[in-house]
Structure 1
């Protein structure tokens, strides 16, 4: 019989507590950086267009580089790869802060620094979730993923709020310095995690392994199914990202931004609670059922609950969608880890995590078009996307 781990006993596994602490600091820094970058550019250049393009430069190069980052994870080992990302991120952001202090910066320099920052990002993002299944026993993996997902959901809320407060009180240069310090702290925490070696062969050419990683995700029935299903589910969140502020603006005379922010914060906290609850469930072997049930619940939360029952319905619907998002994320992560060979996990995690985000911008674009006709129809589309995502889980092979 497998040992049952509580969250307290889970953190006693060697290396897991410093890894979680490093992940908290790194993810907090990453969430703070995007908003701080926008505020930094607006203060120094007064250009929303430049802020938008720099945000693009801070995200998209990393998505493009994710297949190569996955190869590095598998070849050099996740511990070293994550450490490289943390140290590089601290250095690039410290350089932005320094440039702001001394006044020697320009848009081309900022583009170079944020693109370099973006390109190492997949090493850290996928590396943490590549380390988890190698640090914890199989019986503890579901709960470890639940803890990791809960941390991610809560930091997703706290990060932008912290960035806004620090920039308002101390200025964007101080905020950038604190972000660099957080990355440095994460790198120090990672020193307490055992250095796990790479499992992939170093004799195979790098480019060939990069192509093999893409082929693995495309040809593996489970990985392909997860990519399709979760991307469809993310369309729902992309639609809600546009529809919710419009809904709030139509019902609030003042303070629309604050109300929207509070709604997203509540939803993020609900997601963290849902993920922790999922850690107490027996998810292993039941991942597809958990995903499908959560996606159907999300569809119901989007329409009719959020759309047709006024402001109270919106709050209830978003809370429900937030709660079930936790178990969905835990189930997706656990199933992907279980059905991937250890020597391929870095490539699979890096590529899959990038593919998972594809649905979000598509959903936002669809919502932007649909809302012009009817706000309610955008919530209907959000619900349909989650229903189709739930149906797509049926094509993922069972154990």
Structure 2
């Protein structure tokens, strides 16, 4: 049975290799775009404020329309939904690049193009994770989720590094063109994935199905519990993304802190990828709540006292521990959510849940920004407490809940 469940056997499933390759290219492109956009705006306008607002515009509109995107995904099918996102993303980023080359990249033009890019995002992000459980057998679900999570972790490390290198060597306009080609390449890869139809009824209106998706996530105990617990878990990461650079800067100075911070986050990302792949061997199905809760408690201890009280070495070890257990946490989250959701509603659940899960991250960053000026240790403690609350919320999720009907 173990050989039947190996990663090599998993990749023999029809349609899965091109889907994983498409997901890798698109996620790498997305991570590259986040940094490249900032560098492009700074080079063109020398305005950190504009860079911040455009980064916000690249994320927030997609989160707001995620319930509608989820309903559309269930109607048209995940393959078509992902293809729409990939083609739209390639087109809008190519337009930003062309506008830069031609000198048309005014703040208004950039804002419009970036918002349009953001609106298609939920289709791809949730569409891929809606496709996976329909392509693989149930016994391989935790393994494919581990592979998917590892792809995310690798993209988090490689994306910004590639973006910085490409902008430095070729300029931001060329980097944007390469990102557009990466999205186009992902769309080509997806053409080799079988088209799976939507499972939702077309007799109900799109608005009605959108409302049903929101109600379902709010009423279903598992989905509601996961939304609460994972949001608190993301508060921890929101705090860390602010406190880590400040911690490093106090010891190395502003000039050297960027490279040290980058190395720390790279090590954390690599640990996360390894943790995700190892999680595929844990057989998390049926034990997802326990895996998540234990991982969140470990994350809390990694944030405080390990990262906070033992200098730079403790910070590095704490981040790597937190990164390592983030893999099993994410795999268990995906498997539990997929397993306890009616396939007819999975697109809506994925789209809405993923947006809710992200809510804790900016909240954690905002809290850290206010607290860190008074006490850095207090910021680390808040990060740890958030993960403890997340673990408690995870433990309160019912053991066995039938899929929502």
Deviation at 1:45, TM superposition (A): 1.5
Distance 1:241 1:202 in 2: 43
Write the distance in 1 (CA, Å) between the matches of 2:27 and 2:391. Answer: 29
Q: CA deviation at 1:104?
A: 2.0
Equivalent residue number for residue 140 of structure 1: 140
CA contact (8 A) 2:292 2:394 kept: yes
1:395 to 2:396 alignment: yes
Distance 2:315 2:396 in 1: 32
| Match in the other structure for 2:270 | 269
Counterpart in the other structure of 2:44: 44
Deviation (angstroms), 1:150: 0.4
Deviation sequence 1:130-175 (CA, Å, 0-9, x none): 0000000000010000000001011111001100110111011110
Task: Give how far 1:303 is off.
Answer: 0.7
- In the alignment, which residue of structure 1 is the partner of 2:350? 349
**Which ranges of structure 1 fall in alignment gaps of 5 or more residues?**
none
Q: Is contact 1:2–1:139 with CA below 8 Å preserved after alignment?
A: no
Cα distance in structure 2, aligned partners of 1:56 and 1:302:
27
Unaligned 5+ segments in structure 2 are 401-405
Q: Deviation at 1:2? A: 9.7
Distance in 1 (alpha carbons) for counterparts of 2:69 and 2:170: 35
Which residue of the partner structure matches residue 35 of structure 1?
A: 35
Alignment partner, residue 336 of structure 1: 337
Q: Deviation string for 1:21-54 (max 9, x for gaps)?
A: 0000000110111111111111111211111111
Report 1:109-120 matches (<5 A): 109-120=109-120
2:163 paired residue number:
163
**2 CA distance for matches of 1:133 and 1:115?**
30
> Structure 2 length as normaliser, TM-score?
0.97
CA distance in 1 between partners of 2:46 and 2:371 (Å): 32
CA contact (8 A) 1:126 1:349 kept: yes
Q: What is the Cα deviation at residue 3 of structure 1?
A: 8.0
The equivalent residue for 1:211 is 211
| CA 3–221 in structure 1, closer or farther in 2 if over 3 Å, else same | farther
> Is the Cα–Cα contact under 8 Å of residues 3 and 139 in structure 1 kept in the other structure?
no
Contact 2:67 2:352 in 1 (8 A): yes
Counterpart of 2:403?
A: none
User: Within 5 Å, which residues of 2 pair with 1:237-316?
Assistant: 237-253=237-253, 254-316=255-317
1:310-358 per-residue CA deviation (whole Å, 9 max, x = no partner) reads: 1111111111000000000000000000000001000000000000010
Conserved 8 A contact 2:3-2:9: no
* Structure 1 match to 2:102: 102
Deviation at 1:4, TM superposition (A): 3.9
Task: Figure out how many residues of one structure are paired with residues of the other and give that number.
Answer: 399
Cα root mean square deviation, aligned: 1.1
**Cα distance per residue 1:255-306 (max 9 Å; x no partner):** 1111001101110110000000000011000000000000000011011111
What SS is found at the alignment partner of 2:79? helix
- Cα distance in 1 between the residues matched to 2:115 and 2:257: 33
What displacement does 1:371 show?
A: 1.1
